[in-house]
Amino acid sequence: MSSSLRGAFAATLIVVFGLPALADGDPAQGEKVFKKCLACHSVAVGAPSKVGPNLHDVAGRKTGTFEGFKFSKVMIGMGEEGHVWTPEELDKFLENPKSVAPGTKMTFAGLKKAEERADVIAYLISLHPEGAAAQAAPETEGTPTD
Ligand code: HEC
C-alpha cells in the first residue's frame, strides 16, 4: 500500500554554478587574449581612445563614462542606471556584447571561452586594481600570486 517515493527528491535538485573560472583568471594569459581587443582599445594611462574607449581603468568604472569618448546611447543609458564594470558584468558583456548592450557600437562577436574571459578580466583588473577593489566586497579579493 505504500507508494513509491521515487521522484520525491527530483524537484529539489538545484545545481548552482559559481564563477570559478572568473576567480582563476591569469593576467599574463589575459594580456595575450587582449591582442584581440588592441585594434580598438588602448590601455596605457592617458592614451587616446581608438575605435573604442581607453580601458586602462575600466575595471570598476561606470559604464559609458570615459571622458571624451562618444559612447552609444545604450552604454550611456546603462551608466546612468548605475551599471558598473564589475568582473561579473565584464564576463557577461565579453561573452556576448550585443546581448548585454543591444545596439552597442562594439562590433565584436565575443569571447566564447570562459577561460579567455577570466584571463582578460584578470588582466584588466591588474591594470587598475584599486578600481576593481572599490567595487568588490570589502573582504580580500586576492591578487593571483602563482
Ligand atoms: C572592433 C572594435 C572593438 C573590439 C575588437 C573590441 N571592442 Fe570593446 N568597445 C568597442 C567600442 C566601439 C566600444 C564602445 C561601445 C558603445 O559605446 O556602445 C567598446 C566598449 C567596450 C567596453 C565598455 C567600456 C566602457 O567604458 O563602458 C569594454 C569593457 C570593452 N569594450 C572591452 C573589450 C574587450 C576586453 C575586448 C577584447 C576581448 C574588446 N572590447 C574588443 C570596440 C571594440
Q: How confident is the model at residue 23 (pLDDT cuts 50, 70, 90)?
A: confident
pLDDT surpassing 70 at residue 68? yes
Higher pLDDT, 116 or 3: 116
Pocket test for ligand 1, best of 29, 34, 40 (most atoms within 8 A of CB): 40
Which tens digits make up the pLDDT trace of 29-46? 999 999 999 999 999 999
Distance 143 CA to ligand 1 centre (A): 24
Q: Which residues contact 89 (CB under 8 A, 6 or more apart)?
A: 63, 83, 100
Residue 139 Cα to chain centre, angstroms: 20
CA distances 129 to 2, 107, 123, Å, are: 61, 27, 10
